[in-house]
Chain A
Amino acid sequence: MEKNQANNRTRATGDGGAKDRVDRVDPYGFERSEDFDYESYEEFMSEYLVVLTRRSIKWSKLLKGKNRVQKNVKLKRYVRKGIPNEHRALIWMAASGAQDQLEKNPGYYQSLLGAQHDHRLVETICTDLNRTFPDNIHFRKTSNQCLQKALYNVLLAYGHHNSDVGYCQGMNFIAGYLLIVTKDEEKSFWLMDALLGRILPDYYNPTMVGLKTDQEVLGELVKLKIPRVWQTMMDHNVMWTLVVSRWFICLYIDVLPVETVLRIWDCLFYEGSKILFRVALTLIHHNQPLIQQAQSLPDVCQVFKQITHGPFVNECHTFMQKIFTEPGSLSMATLTKLRTTCRSCITAEET
C-alpha cells in the first residue's frame, strides 16, 4: 500500500490531469480499472466530499461516542443518506441484530474454527480464495495483513454454522466486503449470519429456490411497473435469471461501483431485502428506452451489462435518492405475496 501511495505521489508531479491527482487504489483497496474515468470521478467527488463531511458531522452528533443505537424514523433517514465508513460496522451490527447475536454467543465463532472441519467444505472454499478480489491489495498474499486467511476462516465457520448452506459461490465476495468494512472476522461472521439467516431469503442453499423466486418476483414487478420492458424481455425470450442472477447472489458486488454497493448495503442491513428490488427496478426503469431498443437476446444481455456502468450508478448519493422515488411504491405486503406465488410455481415446476 505504501509503495502504491509513493507511486501516486510521483505521478502527482505530472501534467496536472485528474489521473495524476486521484489514487490508483480506492479507499477500500481496489485498484481502479484501466478504463476508469478519472475526470468524472474527480468532478463527482468534489461534490460528494461535501455531502460526506456534512453527514459525518450529523452522525457524530447523533452517536455522541455511544456504540448503541435505537432503530427509529430518524436513524432510518440517516441510513438512507449514507453511513460514514467509520461508523458502518457499528450501524450494520446494531441494525441487523448481529451485535446481539455476538454478545449472546461469546466464543462461538472461535469454537467453530476449533472444531473438526469438513474436508469437502474446505476444498470448495479454497478453490475460490485466490479468485476473490485479486484486484484488491488487501487480498494479495504479498500484503502485510492479507485478508485471505480471515476470508477462509469466516467462510469455514459459516459453512459449519449453517450446514444446509455450507459454501456457495458469491458468499466469498460478501464475506470479503464485510472484512474490508469491519476489519474483524467475528463481526463479519455475525453479519453473514444476519444476511443469510434473516435478511435474505434462501438464495444460497443447494436448491437456490430463494434466488429463483426473487428473479421471478422481479419479473412480476417489472410487468406491473415497467410493462414495456417486460414485453421486450418476452419478445426476445429472455429469462430473468440470465441478466439478474448476479445482482441478487452477489448483492450487487462486482456489478455496481464499490461506493454504490456500500450505500445499498447500508439500507439492506437496516430495511431488508426489499432494497435489492428497489435497486433493480431503478436500473431497469431509468434505462427503459435503451432496453426497448434491443433487437435480440444477446442485445438484451449486453444492455443489462451496460446499465450497471456510467454516471447514473457512479453518482451514488443521487442514485440512492432515486431508488426510493423512481420505482414508485413497493410494499412489503406486495413483495411477500409475490414471493409466495412465485415460489409455489417454481416448486410445482420442479417436482
Chain B
Amino acid sequence: MIEVMQFEFMRNALAAGLLASVICGIMGTLVVVNRIVFLSGGIAHAAYGGIGLAFYFGWPYLAGTLGFSLGAAMIMAAVTLKDKHRADTIIGVIWALGMASGIILIDLSPGYNVDLMSYLFGSILTVPDADLWIMVSMGLFIVALVAVYYKDLLALSYDEEFARIRGVPVTALYFLLIGMLAVTVVMVIQVVGLILVIALLTIPPFIMEKYARSLLQMMIGSSVLGVVFTVAGLWISFAFDLTSGASIIMVAGIFFFLNLLVERLIPGRRKIPKKNIAVEPQRS
C-alpha cells in the first residue's frame, strides 16, 4: 500500500474516498434512521437532469446541478411531508424524469458528450486538488450543521410528533435535512459517482445501526467503516487492476452480508430475549 502512495492520483483518490466516507457516514446515518434511502436515490438520479441543463445552457456545472437537485429534493421533501403514502411513487417519477431530461438535454447540446459511466461510477482516480478542497469545506459545513441541530435532528428522526410538541421546528428542519442531503449527494457524486454514494450512504449505517447506542456513535462508526471499505477497495482495485468504485462497493457488500451471517449464527445479547417480545393484549 505504501508504494502506491507515491502516485499523486492515488493520494488524491484516497483523500477523496476518506472524505466521502466521513460525509456519507454522517448523512447516511440520518438517511437510514429516517428511512429516506429511496429519496436519496431519487435526488442522486434527478441530479443528472441538472448536469444536462448546465451543459445545454452553458451554465457553470456546479450551479446548474446543485440548483436542479435542490429544487427536485425540495419537491420530494414537500411530498413526503404532505402525503406519505404517495411519496415513493412521486419520488420514482422525479427520479426517472430527472435522469431522462438530463440525457435528452445532453443529446441536444452541440458537440459535447458527457460519459454516463463516469457519472455513475465517478472517476476517483482523477480527482483534482480543487475538488478535494470543496469536499473538505463541505464536510466541515455538514459537521457544523449537524452539531448545532443534533438534538433536534435526533428528536425529529426518533419521534416526529413528540419533537413537534416540544417545539422543534420539524418542517423547517426536515427541509434542511433534505437540502443538506442534496448538497452532499451532488458534491460527492462528482468525485466518486452515483453508485458509490448510495453504497456509502446506506451500507455502513445499516451495519452500525445494530451496534450503536446513539446517533453520534452510529455516525462515527459509519464513517470509520466507510474508510475501511474505501481503503480496502482502493487497494484491491490497484492490486488486481479493477475499477476502483466498483471494488469499494464489493468490499462493502461483502461486509454487509458477513454481518448478516454473523448475526444469524451468533444470537448474541443484542437479540431481544423471547419473553420480552411485545405481546398482544390477551384475553384472560
- Determine if chain A interacts with chain B: no
